[in-house]
A and B are shown apart, each in its own frame.
Chain A
Amino acid sequence: MHEISLCESLLKVIEDSASQQNFSQVKTVWLELGRFSCVEPDAMRFSFDVVMKGTLADGARLELLELPARVWCSKCLKDVEIQQRYDACPSCGDYRLQISGGEEMRIKELEVV
């Protein structure tokens, strides 16, 4: 259940932001998750509610935005989208792919009071 510790890290970022940006309550958290980020959305939602209890984000809504996995194919010389890490390039079938996007776990924005 590393989603718990991810939520603890998330809480820290929120708390730091609260003291810098002067807010005392969080209503909504928008989180971007790359397809290859090792986060299970259901586990994340569950952990989020548990970890935020009694904090400034108690009861906050968690909005997850999934980002596609993009890789650079050195044969096609272009970015392509794949679904799984073990996928081959959909255009040429090559496996030598460089991940260029899809591992993000980024807090995008907050709705605060």
Chain B
Amino acid sequence: MCTVCGCGEGEATIEGHEHHHHHHEEGHSHSHADGHGDHNHDYGQGAARAHAPGLSQTRMVQIEQDILSKNNQYADANRRYFSEHGILSLNLVSSPGSGKTTLLTATVLALLDQTPVAVIEGDQQTALDADRIRKSGARAVQINTGKGCHLDAHMVGHAVQDLKLQHGSALFIENVGNLVCPAAFDLGEAAKVVILSVTEGADKPLKYPDMFHAASLMILNKIDLLPYVDFDVAACCDYARRINPGIRIIQLSATTGEGMETWLGWIRAHLEIAKTGVNVPGENS
């Protein structure tokens, strides 16, 4: 999380955060005052004091709170911000190497003349992917999660502030390559898009069901390689629908461009929804 304002623990860093101290202004209203500001190290003394006689009386405290409630509060703040600014935010998740950055680069190039586009890149290390995206002409900010294996809503909130998005933007969030825990961390996105490439095996939806259940759209990438690999497309789609009956599936190749129009059409329909707040008739996922 943020090493500048000292909010939160963890070791994520956001590009550019070394150079300025930013504020949490309107729209991104999570408070540092009550939450992670008080990372009190004197809590540890409690253990010592408790050994004193007379202080060992225990009592029960009802909590009934989701572990991820903090993350979900940040996600809600992000979602409010996106909706107030007519921004379509998509959370792209996949294993490393399935082609997220390649797909994003091609997507940015296709959208940029009509739509403001920005990208948040999540990787454990390096700003290489943000550099790749900036070369294609979009605004991009890199989040390095260090040892962390997923982005969380708090990191994304900071990155969003840095991006200063225009109204009606498309914001793509490339999550850390990992088919497991990004499923559990809501970033405030409109939809999760899971990318699976045909070199990974058709049974991935069954092996990593949480992710395919959480996603609204599955992109089957690298279909240009289908002649060379043993990949049963029909079985893969069947497995994905078994986990998630409502999932949309688009087959494409980010490198040859085949199928890209369907994906771009899906994005444009969802951009309209984000901008107007109205569901396009016939578009249900």
Contact = CB atoms under 8 A, between A and B. Distances in A.
A21 B43 CA distance: 14
Given A9-B71, A17-B63, A107-B63, A85 B58 contact: no
B243 interface: yes
Contact of B63 (A19, A105, A108): A108
A109 B62 contact: yes
Interface string B52-85: 0001111111111111111100000000000000
B50 A104 contact: no
Interface string A1-18: 110011011101101111
A113 interface: yes
A95 interface: yes
A12 to B, nearest CB: 5
A9 B61 contact: no
Interface stretch (B20-28, B148-156, B225-233, B264-272): B148-156
Contact of B43 (A10, A24, A113): A24
A85 B245 CA distance: 12
Contact of B60 (A85, A107, A110): A110
B36 to A, nearest CB: 7
Interface stretch (B101-109, B114-122, B164-172, B205-213): B205-213
A100 B134 CA distance: 42
Nearest to B206: A86
Contacts of B183: 38
Contacts of B213: 85, 99
Given A5-B152, A38-B181, A109 B68 contact: no
Contacts of A108: 62-64
Interface in A55-80: 55-56, 58-59
Contacts of B2: none
Interface in B199-247: 206, 209-210, 213, 239, 241-243, 245
B180 interface: yes
B243 A85 contact: yes
Contacts of A97: 245
Nearest to B66: A106
Contacts of A18: 43
A86 B212 CA distance: 11
B44 interface: yes
A113 B55 contact: yes
A109 B59 CA distance: 10
Contacts of A1: 147, 149
Interface in A80-113: 84-86, 88, 95-97, 99, 104-113
24 contacts: A5-B152, A9-B71, A12-B70, A16-B34, A16-B35, A17-B65, A18-B43, A21-B61, A38-B180, A38-B184, A85-B209, A85-B243, A88-B242, A95-B241, A95-B242, A96-B245, A107-B63, A107-B66, A109-B60, A109-B61, A109-B63, A112-B58, A112-B61, A113-B50
Interface of B: 9-10, 34-36, 38-41, 43-47, 49-50, 55-71, 147-150, 152, 180-181, 183-184, 206, 209-210, 213, 239, 241-243, 245
